[in-house]
Amino acid sequence: MIKVALLHFCFEDYTIELANNLVKYVDLTLIHPEKVSKVCSNVLDSNIRVISFQKPRIRDPRNLLSMSSMMRIIKDIEPDILHVQETNDPWYDWTLLLNKMPPLVTTIHDIFRHPGDNVTAFGSEYSRRIGFYRSQQLIVHTHQLKKILIEQFRIPQERVNVLPHGELGSLYQRRGSQNIQVREPYTLLFFGRILPYKGLKYLLEAMPLIAESIPEVKLIIAGRGENIRHYFPNGYDEKRYEIINDFIPLEEVGNLFQRSTVTVLPYIEASQSGVAALSYGMGTLVVASDVGGLSEIVQHKKDGLLVPQCDARSLADAIICLLNDRDLQKQMQAAALARCQQDLNWSNIAAQTAQIYQREINMQNKY
Following DSSP, what letter does each residue of 12-31 receive, concatenated? HHHHHHHHHHHTTTSEEEEE
- The stretch 117-144 carries a mean pLDDT of 79
Q: What is the helix (H) or strand (E) element at residue 149, kind and residue range?
A: helix 143-152
Where helices occur in 217-311 by DSSP H, the ranges are 250-259, 274-282, 294-297
pLDDT value at position 119? 53
Q: Is 330 exposed, middle or buried (0-12, 13-18, 19+ CB in 10 A)?
A: exposed
Amino acid 189 reads L
Percentage of the chain beyond pLDDT 90 is 72
Residue 16 — φ and ψ, nearest 5°? -60, -50
- The stretch 301-328 carries a mean pLDDT of 97
Would the pLDDT of 122 be above 70?
A: no
Would the pLDDT of 367 be above 70?
A: no
Q: How confident is the model at residue 120 (pLDDT cuts 50, 70, 90)?
A: low
- C-alpha 64 chain-centroid distance: 29
Cα–Cα distance for residue pair 312/212, rounded to 1 Å: 14
Question: What pLDDT digit, counting tens, does each position of 131-190 carry?
Answer: 889 999 999 999 999 999 999 999 999 999 999 999 999 999 888 766 678 899 999 999
pLDDT value at position 116? 54
Would the pLDDT of 14 be above 80?
A: yes
Residue 23 — φ and ψ, nearest 5°? -65, -15
For 25, residues 6+ apart whose C-beta sits below 8 A from its C-beta are 2, 350, 351, 354
Would the pLDDT of 93 be above 80?
A: yes
Q: Is 248 helix (H, G, I), strand (E, B) or coil?
A: coil
Cα–Cα distance for residue pair 331/217, rounded to 1 Å: 21
Q: Is 154 helix (H, G, I), strand (E, B) or coil?
A: coil
**Please, which contacts does 289-294 make with residues 24 or more away whose CB atoms are closer than 8 Å?**
289/199, 289/265, 291/267, 292/142, 292/144, 292/267, 293/141, 293/142, 293/144, 293/145, 294/265, 294/267, 294/270
Cα(first)–Cα(last) distance of the chain, in Å? 21
Cα–Cα distance for residue pair 325/306, rounded to 1 Å: 16
Half-sphere exposure of 232 (CA within 13 A, CB side): 16
Residue 5 or 271, more confident: 5
- The stretch 107-117 carries a mean pLDDT of 74
pLDDT value at position 117? 56
Cα–Cα distance for residue pair 161/107, rounded to 1 Å: 9
> What pTM did the predictor assign?
0.91
Question: What pLDDT digit, counting tens, does each position of 293-306 carry?
Answer: 898 889 999 999 99
Average pLDDT, the chain: 91
- The stretch 79-106 carries a mean pLDDT of 92
Question: What pLDDT digit, counting tens, does each position of 189-246 carry?
Answer: 999 989 888 999 999 999 999 999 999 999 999 998 888 888 888 888 889 999 999 8
Q: How confident is the model at residue 274 (pLDDT cuts 50, 70, 90)?
A: confident
CB 90 within 8 A of CB 253: no
Question: What pLDDT digit, counting tens, does each position of 329-347 carry?
Answer: 999 999 999 999 999 999 9
Amino acid 43 reads V
- The stretch 257-274 carries a mean pLDDT of 91
